[in-house]
Amino acid sequence: MSSFSNQTKIGIVGGGQLGRMLVQAGSDWDLRFASLDPDPQAPCFQMTEFTNGSLTHYDTVLKFGQRCDVITIEIENINTQALAELQRQGKRVYPQPEIIELIQDKRTQKQFYKASGIPTADFILVNDRDDVIRQKNFLPAVNKLGREGYDGRGVQILRTEKDLEKAFDAPGLLEKLIDFEKEIAVIAARNEQGEVALYPPVEMVFHPEANLVEYLFSPAQISSTVQQEAQRIARLVIEKLNMVGILAVEMFVTREGTVLVNEIAPRPHNSGHQTIEANTTSQYEQHLRAILGLPLGDTSIVIPSAMVNLLGEAGFEGEAVYEGWQSVMALSGVHIHLYGKKKTKPFRKMGHVTITDADVESLKKKAKFVKTHLRVKA
């Protein structure tokens, strides 16, 4: 795109919180947005030209995209055939449909890593539970569904033969269980011109039950050697894909300091929420820059930060009530983001809190305070 027009209509396939924050970033440029989501009360419905409809139905996605100039996504479980047809019709579709399709299946993701020389844990492809049982000597391992696993679903650890009875009875994979020291992520961006920008790695801590990011710290407390290797790998992944847009690359750091790719997501990601307040360019603005053919922004950290996910409390379902709001708001450097979801249920992502503080120890204390005091109940 040789010139910029704020009359360009950006269509977001998916109307959840990631789309909502993308729209918020685009509001500074007075951009026009449309969104498609099966939930009539999706977080984007009041902020965009909203279409209530299926993300996997070919005609629904096709007709939605035909009303837009540039089409992007905020979730992977969508109809890529419709996106490919929109691309053939001359629409600008980023990330590209074939890349979304590759990433939709964890089996093809892993095969892509292997073929591209991208370091990742050893794995075996399996077709069903019987296949998993036949591979019992590969344990301990992580059993992953090939398709439709999202936000911690479709992933489980099989440590011993006693666990084999709970193996997924569907196409998937077994991935060697890694004895890692840290889980980190690097957000990479690439525009149409091939320019690449990399964010400093962040360190993630996962909820023990929900398998969702509970909180993260930026920057990750890792050596400069590990940081450089993580960024090298993230660049390699996005360049091998030849992808346009934002790519989140989740990685393990082993106790020996080896960096291995776990999974990737071709969209703004939970591991980049803190960039709104704590980096020069947020991941959302960066995604817009990339898909609109604009120069990429500065990714440097302005101030250390932590991000705490606000998850629905176990045992509560209904109209959301936020306990501890005032005590958390009294802390300096606290930024609360709610996602416009009226009803909570256990482990539902209702919002997030970013905390900024130049003192890393103070930052950790504040993050712990937010995590223990701000509760989503009903």
pLDDT in tens, the chain (378 residues): 456 677 899 999 999 999 999 999 999 999 999 999 999 999 999 999 999 999 999 999 999 999 999 999 999 999 999 999 999 999 999 999 999 999 999 999 999 999 999 999 999 999 999 999 999 999 999 999 999 776 668 999 999 999 999 999 999 999 999 999 999 999 999 999 999 999 999 999 877 666 677 789 999 999 999 999 999 999 999 999 999 999 999 999 999 999 999 999 999 999 999 999 999 999 999 999 999 999 999 999 999 999 999 999 999 999 999 999 999 999 999 999 999 999 999 999 999 999 999 999 999 999 999 999 999 999
Which residue's entry shows tokens 């009360």? 41
Q: 139-166: string of b/e by CB count within 10 Å (b at 16+)?
A: bebbbbbbbebeeeebbbebeeeebbee
C-alpha distance across the termini of the chain, in Å: 48
Do 180-377 and 122-176 fall under one CATH topology? Answer: no
Q: Any idea where the domains of the chain sit in the sequence?
A: 9-93, 122-176, 180-377
Q: At what angle do helices 224-241 and 106-116 cross, to 10 degrees?
A: 110
Give phi and psi for 328, each to the nearest 5. Answer: -75, -40
Residue 113, pLDDT score: 98
Q: Are strands 202-206 and 213-218 parallel, antiparallel or unpaired?
A: antiparallel
Residue 152, pLDDT score: 67
Give the Cα separation of 159 and 167 in Å (integer): 11
Residue 1, pLDDT score: 44
Residue 360, pLDDT score: 92
State the CATH class of domain 180-377.
alpha beta
Is the CATH code 3.40.50.720 the one for domain 122-176?
A: no
Fold of 9-93: Rossmann fold (3.40.50)
> 82: which residues sit within 8 A by CB, 6+ positions away?
58, 59, 60, 61, 62, 65
